[in-house]
Structures are given as structure tokens and as C-alpha cells.
Chains A and B, each alone.
Chain A
């Protein structure tokens, strides 16, 4: 099915089960432990355990690895070192070496996998490898590398010919002429996805074919990249990833667990499973780059922005991607003069890669604080200032409208519900006992990215429907929303629908990332269901266009047949792929939100605690308000982390992230997360997808951190522009003890 015209009324619009709060259909499997994750599979036979050993230097070469003692250790079946292989090809959009060769690019790069009968044996033996390194000097400090940084054009939005800097009008002239100006630099730290389930893979070979159970967000990328890495034909690889215990970007691409499980299984002739133990994940896999962002805003005394400049810097290994922290600035506010661009510096740190809301999350942490600062300079309410500078069109392509954009409504609805009118514009004006209390707001934007997505839907002889696709459910609720889609299209209930996901033998779907999963995968199931409806109509001799499907029956005029009856005559299959035309080019498709936060700052100690938050989201039709809300509050929770604590601490001398475990890398615990309120606006987007839905999984994180940052300022009068906002940065500007 080609989607290149706005969606008309279609069976989804009945909203019998689509759009309804259906509980997760796989929930009972997960809470009872019956859902088997990659490391727990038994289909391939008893697997040996592989433990990965990471390099103890950040840059250099490995001269030798002595494995004698490891091989002699109890239970050890084999040791494969990076010196045994040439460098394996890296996955698309990745930069770090997965395995192979003697060159160490970054700390904890995989040097070896030690395989034994038990995990404990493999772990013990892994410590007996003796490695001779040759250290090289490295570049570890982002700010130091700024002079050598190179432009990072916005190719995701601007295509291969995207300019180094997106320019509209003459920013410098506008800035010089402006009555009110802001010029500030903001920094965001390195952050780790820190998902709950570690990376894990299990591999088994049958002849020259390999089956891999893994924890991966994008099965179709994995099945593209694994054959390349292993040097075998694509058709010889099957990848399964039915359950994923969180990813946040860390599992978009294959990491060393996949290739080491496959290499070890091939070498040993038996199934091998490899999980990355937690202390290795932070430096071995990927993280979000730190950023340094310089923002300049120009406005007249009426509060209208006349110029926006947002220039950012991130770092990565050579060949890696930039953290596109300026991309949202192209779309969020009107201003006739603009210059927006990212640069990237080469660093010898672990690979930076996509993490939840890549670009927007750190970008809004700067832009939305700058907007707060500018509103104050203009003596305007921050919400009124944002609404005044709202834009109905892409400011860089003024004839290009947004498909749907309800940012102002998000802000207004949120202000009313949150009680914004009680906010004191003058900072440090509200005390509640020892707490300084403040409120903050921020806008949110995250694009809706159309991607082709396929599915197969079977009407089985039993009368049950089964949805089959290589789509993944990374904890988001995909199983449930695909069941809802098929149920709505065929007039049954979600309980009548089975969903099989995450198998590369099944039709290729969009996968889970960039909040593109829900809209595209439900679109694929929609397309497949249209095919199935046609097949059912054909079997019954009904004109397909006039059939309705409801209450387990198909009707055409006065003729009614139950689906069970149709099915008894033999299984029917509908399979199709949703493909998107140029609607996404003709119209900017994005999701919007407004985030509100109230914080308390201990006037004595500077401890910051979030008291309440609200997110109002404009994300197209909401497919399932329960799973959508869960996505939003999860994003808000990550926003609390980003604002107040998450910080991969760099040892700039030794070239690695020091706090590489869950004790050292602090994420919010329950006590940090107050009641999180969510309002989901209902603005179906007929230009985005046939179900009129858009994604929401990353929107909930966007704007959450800067809303908190602005609330901290409102509470204290202290503006911290270097995240995370921790008490040590506030302390010296808090009221003197004599005043408390």
C-alpha cells in the first residue's frame, strides 16, 4: 500500500478497540517470567557461556594476548581473541570496531571472548588473560578538540546535499540591530541509555546457517549487518528478538555480543550465549555524546524573535554520527533570520550514537532554557513568549506547512491544568519551609519519521487472527497496538489476535527507534489487513469496497457471514507493506508537547527534588492511552535524570567513563519521581499514516529536562547552564546561612 494521499475515513476510525486503553497482551508473560529473553532461550540446545573482555587502555595496539592460563582454567572451552580475526566490518551508522585486529580505538573495546560451561567459569577465566598493550596518545576532551571540529550537516532532514549551516536571512545583522539579545553557552554531559536488560545474544549454527536470538530494536538492520560482519550470505542468518528489556537506542545496532556469540559458536561447534556484564556496557557499547551549544537570540521589544542562532558541537570516533542537538531549532520557533548548525570533533572515546530523542533531548535542554532566559529579558511570561513565536510553517521552507501542529494548545492546556498562573515571575520568591519552590515550562518537539513497514495477517482455520512481522516490542506495547489494529480492521477483539514479532523470517517492519515504530508498524498491519479483507470478500463473492467487519462478522448489504465460517473453508492470508510517498516532504510531520515542572530546592543543602510534572502531548491519534502514557512518563523520568543526575563521568587523563555501573551512573529511583501527569490531546494526523497516529515514545523526554532546569531557576534565581544541575553547582549562590 502506498500512502501518498491524506488518509480518508477508514475502518480504524470506528475506534472500537483502536484508541482504547487495552492492557498489554504480553504483560502476564513478562510478570510471570514466562517471556523468555535472548539469554534465556532453550530452543537451540544448551548454550556455553561467553564472557567478553574489554581493553584496559583507551587507544593503541595489542601486541600480544597470552591465553594459556585462561585455557587451563576449569570448564573453559575456548578463547577467541581479537588477534585471531581481521577487523570485522562495522554496522551501518556505527564507528566503533566490533571485534578483530590489533587496533584499540576506545576503552573496553572487545579484546576477547572466553567461553566455558558455566558463566562463573568463563568469568573467572576471563581474568587470566595476559595482554601486552602499546599505548597511544588520545583525544578525550571535547572542548579541547573544538578548533579541529568539522561541520556535521543535517542530512537526516536536509538530505545528502544538506548545507553545513542552515541559513535563512542575515542573522548577524538582525542580532546587531535587535533591542533585546541573548547570548549563552550551554553544555550537556555524556549520557548512557542504561537500559535494564544488558545486551545479550545466543547463537547456534546448523551447517553454514546461523540462528541468533538477541536483544535488538531493529531486526532488519541486524539481519543486514550480521552477515556482513561474519562474511556470510544474508540468507544464512536468522535473527530473533521477540522481547527486549529496554533499548533507548543502545540496541539499534548489533554490538559485540552478537558477533562474539556467533564466532564462538562456530569455532566451538555448539551454541554460545554472550551477555555484556554491566561494567563493560558503558564503555564498550554506545552513549549519547556530550554537547557544547552556543545560542544567540534576537528580539524586538514586542517579544517577536527576529533571529535565532544555534551552533552545537558533539564528539565521536572518526566516521561516527553527530548528536544533532540543533535540529529541532530549525522547526520550533519563527524568526526571519536564522543560522543553525552542528560540528563534530573527533575523540578517542567509546562510540556516541543515537539515544532516546537523539538531538532533541540535549538540544531542547539548551534552546528551551535560552527561551526562558529571553522571556525574562523581555519581561514576558515564558508561555506567552513561546506562543507569540509559534510558527504554522517550516521556518526554513515557508511554503511547507506542518501536517498538524498544536504546540500552543499544549502550552495553554498545560498552563491551566498545572496552575501556571500561581507561578511567581520573580525568581526565589516562594518558600515552603526549608524548600525554595519554583515552576518551569518548556516546549517539546520530536519529528514523526515515515518508514516503510510490512506485515502478514493470517485468518487461521480456527478463526483466530495472527499478525506476523519482524517488528520489535522494546517494552513500548507494540504487541498490544498491533493486536488492536488487526482487531479493529477485522471486527474482532484483541483477545482474538495473536502477535508474533521479532523474527527476521517474517515480513520486514520499521523496527523500534526514533519513535517511528508505532505509527509505521500499525500502518503495515493496516495494509496487510486491507489485503486480508479483500481476500475474505473474494472468498464470499462480496464486493470488497462495500464490506464491513464488525462483531466477528463480515457484512455486505443484507448478507452476513461469521469470520469463523469463512475460516473453516481454509486459512486466508493478507500481506502487504506500507510505503510512504512525499507527504512527509510536502508537510513537516512532527509531534509537540509542553512540559511543566515544579521543583523544590533545599535552601540549605541545594538538593533538588521534583515535586510534580505535567506533559501535554500532541502526537496524532493516540493508539492506546495506557501504553502511550507509559511511554510519556518513562520519557519524563529520563528527563529528570538528564536534568539532575545523569552524567557519564569522563576521566580525561585515562580516557574512559569512570562510573560504569548502576551504582556510579545515577538514574532516577522511585523516590525521585513524583506523580507525573499526562494529557494526550486528540488530533488525528491524516497526513502522517493511515491510522492517523504518530509516535510518542521520545516526545515524552523532550522538554522534560529544561522544564526542570527552568523551575530550578525560578525557585532559586540561580541559572545553571551546565547539566546535570547538581547541588555543588548551586551551592555558592544559594542564600547565605545568615539569611535562612
Chain B
């Protein structure tokens, strides 16, 4: 870990001002990913701005009939909130499918969206990685790629966005609310929040340098039945090989988003019309143009089978899964 300075802020403006003023500064919330990366010197911030005292840990109703989730609401609190469980159960299910109880207690809503990828070469500072060291090359493309992305990738990077919560938020068309050092707020759709790697895989989100996430806004509830199916080799404490977030209605309409397959939560709205047809039909549209490696080509058929499993469960009974 490199030496860094540290401050604990009491106001959002103080945090964004420090972000704008100090080159190499980073925000610290739960720290469940950032501190690990600092110990490995994959992240080497010059300055940490601890935002845990900010008043951003509440879940509030919005005038539009949705919810505003403060950036610092812990994963545990979010998953167990009665309104979330009742109206947005896909969020609860996505959260509890990941990490551990201890990590979910520490991890924040906004921090979870900003967690970095888990490509083994990104974590291995002895190996080239364009995300960690732009221009050094991608080791994964001809290396160990079984867990990595099959679509949305580039010749520079095939890392997967690893999170579960963001897949559920993408399904629900949540919005990300931010504020910058000039006090300007904006909301952006989560679809636009995570970026595909292109030639600049080190840039992972649309956040600007002095921008801080203040909340995640959920639109009014969609109804329907909510599913989050996470497929993995072991039963817990593993990232998804493929995950499926779904809201399904009795008339066979619905929404589908996939995790574990792309550099961002993967939702292709045009594919959802094919729910009337079959899981394979949805996946063939959603994964059109996929460029898997030999090791991870199984993810495309697995996505179809996972989605089929969700659809079958929806039809089996009216019990929530």
C-alpha cells in the first residue's frame, strides 16, 4: 500500500471539493473493494475522502411513486428494507446472492456499483492488463478466461462487471443521482452508467472526476414476479458465471437482464419481446454479436438455460422464488 492522506468529511460539498482539488483523491465508503486493491497497489490513491458520515444512508419515497436509495445505504439494509422486499424483491435477491453477511454489512449502495472487475490478471500485478496499466496488453484473451465476458468486450479487455445489485437495477431502469464540485446535480440512467471497454478499459463509468453519487432512484414498482438466478460452480461466495434478473408478468411479457457475461449489466430491450417465444429466442437476440473465448463459450447456452429455468419457475407456481 502506498502512503496516502486521509480526511473524514461531514458534508457532500466538502467531499466533492476535495475530489476536485486533490489529484489522485478517492472516496472511501465501505472499503470492501478499494482497501483490498490498495493493499495490492492496483489502486494507489494519494488521498482518501471518507464519506461515511454523510447523510446519505436513508431510503425515501419519491413523488413519482418510487424510492430514493441513499448512496451509503448498506447492502444489508437495502436487501432487508420492507419496501424493497415488497415492491422490488429482485434487488433483495440479487444482493443476498453475493458476498457474505459481513461484506454486505460494510458495502454501500454506490460503492457496490463502483466495484472493480475480478479478472485474475487485473489482480496480478506481475501480468499485463490494460485496465490496470493501459497499453500493457490483455493477458486474459489468450489466457484463463472461463469467468470473463462474452459480449460487449473489446480487443483491449474482456473483463466482466462482477456485481449482482447493478444487474437488478439495470432491470428496473434505476437512475444514478450525482453531484459535482460545482454543486451541479444530474441523474443518469444506469444503462449509461457503466461503460464498455473499447480502447479505454481503464475508464469504467460515466462519472466525472469530481462527481459523487448521492442516490439511486427507483421508478415506481413494475409489479410482476421478480427473479434473480445466479449460476456458479459453488453454492455461495462466488461471482456469477451467468446471472439472470427478471420481472415476468402472466401475459409472458417482462424484462430480462444478465450478469456475469459483459463488462456491464447486460440488458437488450429488443430481446424482451421474444419472451413470447422462448428463452433461446431472447438469448439469441440479447447475445447477438457475442465473441466468447473457447473457455467461456458455454456462457451463451448457459444464459439461455438459466433464463429458461426462471421462466419455468414463473409458470410452476405463484410462490416467489
A residues sitting closer than 8 Å to B (CB atoms) are: 54, 56, 74, 120, 123-124, 127, 279, 434, 602, 604-607, 609, 644-645, 649-651, 653-654, 658-661, 663-664, 666, 668-672, 724, 726-728, 731-732, 734, 737, 740
Contacts and interface: CB of A to CB of B under 8 A. Distances in A.
B121 interface: yes
A649 B143 CA distance: 10
Report which residue of B41, B237, B280 has the largest number of chain A beta carbons within 10 angstroms of its beta carbon: B237
A645 B234 contact: yes
Contacts of B231: 605, 607, 727
Contacts of B3: 74, 124
Interface in B300-317: 301-302, 304-306, 308-309, 312
Contacts of A672: 234-236
Those 10 A-B pairs whose CB atoms lie nearest each other, nearest first? A604-B309, A671-B235, A56-B126, A728-B298, A671-B236, A658-B144, A649-B144, A604-B305, A737-B308, A605-B231
A120 B3 CA distance: 10
Contacts of A120: 1
Interface of B: 1-3, 39, 41, 118, 120-121, 123-127, 139, 142-144, 146, 229, 231-238, 241, 278-280, 298, 301-302, 304-306, 308-309, 312
Nearest to B244: A605
A659 B144 contact: yes
Nearest to B147: A664
A291 B298 CA distance: 25
B143 A651 contact: yes
A179 B312 CA distance: 46
Nearest to B235: A671
A279 B231 CA distance: 26
B233 A645 contact: yes
A737 B278 contact: yes
B142 A669 contact: no
Given A653-B142, A669-B237, A659 B120 contact: yes
A671 B232 CA distance: 12
Nearest to B127: A654
B236 A669 contact: yes
Contacts of B235: 609, 669, 671-672
A112 to B, nearest CB: 14
Interface-central residue, A123, A658, A666, by most chain B CB under 10 Å: A658
Contact of B298 (A604, A651, A668, A731): A731
A661 B42 CA distance: 15
A431 to B, nearest CB: 13
Contacts of B127: 654
Given A124-B2, A127-B41, A659-B120, A737 B305 contact: yes
B279 A731 contact: no
Nearest to A725: B233
Given A56-B126, A123-B39, A668 B234 contact: yes
Given A664-B120, A666-B233, A605 B143 contact: no
A223 to B, nearest CB: 34
A732 B234 contact: no
A320 B133 CA distance: 37
B133 to A, nearest CB: 13
A602 B306 CA distance: 10
Contacts of B234: 644-645, 666, 668-669, 671-672
B233 A740 contact: no
A187 to B, nearest CB: 16
Contacts of B301: 731-732
Contacts of B229: 605
A606 B305 contact: yes
A726 B298 CA distance: 11
B43 to A, nearest CB: 13
A663 B306 CA distance: 24
Given A127-B41, A605-B305, A727-B241, A658 B312 contact: no
B1 A124 contact: yes
A671 B97 CA distance: 12
A726 B302 contact: no
A653 B298 CA distance: 22
A73 to B, nearest CB: 10
6 contacts: A124-B1, A605-B231, A649-B144, A666-B238, A728-B241, A737-B304
Contacts of B305: 604-606, 731, 734, 737
Contact of B306 (A279, A605, A644, A724): A605
Contacts of B2: 124
Contacts of A669: 234-237
Given A645-B234, A654-B139, A434 B1 contact: no
Contacts of B308: 604, 737, 740
B302 A605 contact: yes
Nearest to A108: B126
A602 B309 contact: yes
